[in-house]
Amino acid sequence: MSEAVRNTLVKLQAFIGLIGFAALTPLLILVAVLSRLIAKLCCCSAPKSIEGEVAVVTGAGHGLGRAIALELARKGCHIAVVDINVSGAENTVKQIQDIYRVRAKAYKANVTSHGELVELNTKVVEDLGPVTVLVNNAGVMLHRNMIDPDPVDVQLMIDVNLTSHFWTKLVFLPTMKALRRGFIVTISSLAGVFPLPYSTSYTTTKAGTLAHMRALRMEMALENQKDIHVTTVLPTFLRTNSDVTQLTDTMGVAELYPLVSGEEAAHRIVAGMLRGEAEITLPGLASLLYRLIQIFPADWQDRLILLLSSSRFKKLRDERS
Ligand X SMILES: *[C@@H]1O[C@H](CO)[C@@H](O)[C@H](O)[C@H]1NC(C)=O
Ligand Y SMILES: NC(=O)c1ccc[n+]([C@@H]2O[C@H](COP(=O)([O-])OP(=O)(O)OC[C@H]3O[C@@H](n4cnc5c(N)ncnc54)[C@H](O)[C@@H]3O)[C@@H](O)[C@H]2O)c1
- What is the rounded distance in angstroms from the CA atom of residue 42 to the CA atom of residue 308? 38
Q: Which of 149, 192, 235, 272 binds ligand Y (CB under 6 A)?
A: 235
Toward ligand X, which CB reaches closer, 141 or 259? 141
The nearest distance, CB 109 to ligand Y, in angstroms, is 6
**Which range of residues in 154-162, 169-177, 264-272, 293-301 is near ligand X by CB under 6 A?**
154-162
Toward ligand Y, which CB reaches closer, 11 or 123? 123
Q: CA nearest 113: which of 185, 177, 186, 170?
A: 170
Toward ligand X, which CB reaches closer, 159 or 227? 159
The nearest distance, CB 236 to ligand Y, in angstroms, is 7
- Is residue 120 a contact point for ligand X (CB under 6 A)? no
- What is the rounded distance in angstroms from the CA atom of residue 262 to the CA atom of residue 103? 22
- Is residue 263 a contact point for ligand X (CB under 6 A)? no
- Is residue 64 a contact point for ligand Y (CB under 6 A)? yes
- Cα 40 versus chain centre, distance: 22
What are the angstrom distances between the C-alpha of 280 and each of 45, 103, 191, 267? 15, 28, 14, 12
Half-sphere exposure of 305 (CA within 13 A, CB side): 19
Contact in structure between 175 and 132 (CB atoms under 8 Å): yes
What residues contact residue 5 under an 8 Å CB cut-off, 6+ apart?
Answer: none
Contact in structure between 172 and 228 (CB atoms under 8 Å): no
Mask for 68-97, x = binds ligand Y (CB under 6 A): ---------------xxx--x---------
Residue 238 burial (C-beta neighbours within 10 Å; 0-12, 13-18, 19+): buried
Mask for 181-220, x = binds ligand X (CB under 6 A): ------x-x-----------xx--xx--------------
Toward ligand Y, which CB reaches closer, 76 or 195? 195
CB closest to ligand X, residue no: 139
Amino acid letter at 224? N
- Is residue 158 a contact point for ligand Y (CB under 6 A)? no
Q: Which residues form the interface with ligand Y (CB under 6 A)?
A: 58-59, 61-65, 83-85, 88, 110-112, 137-141, 160, 187, 189, 235, 237-238, 240-241, 244
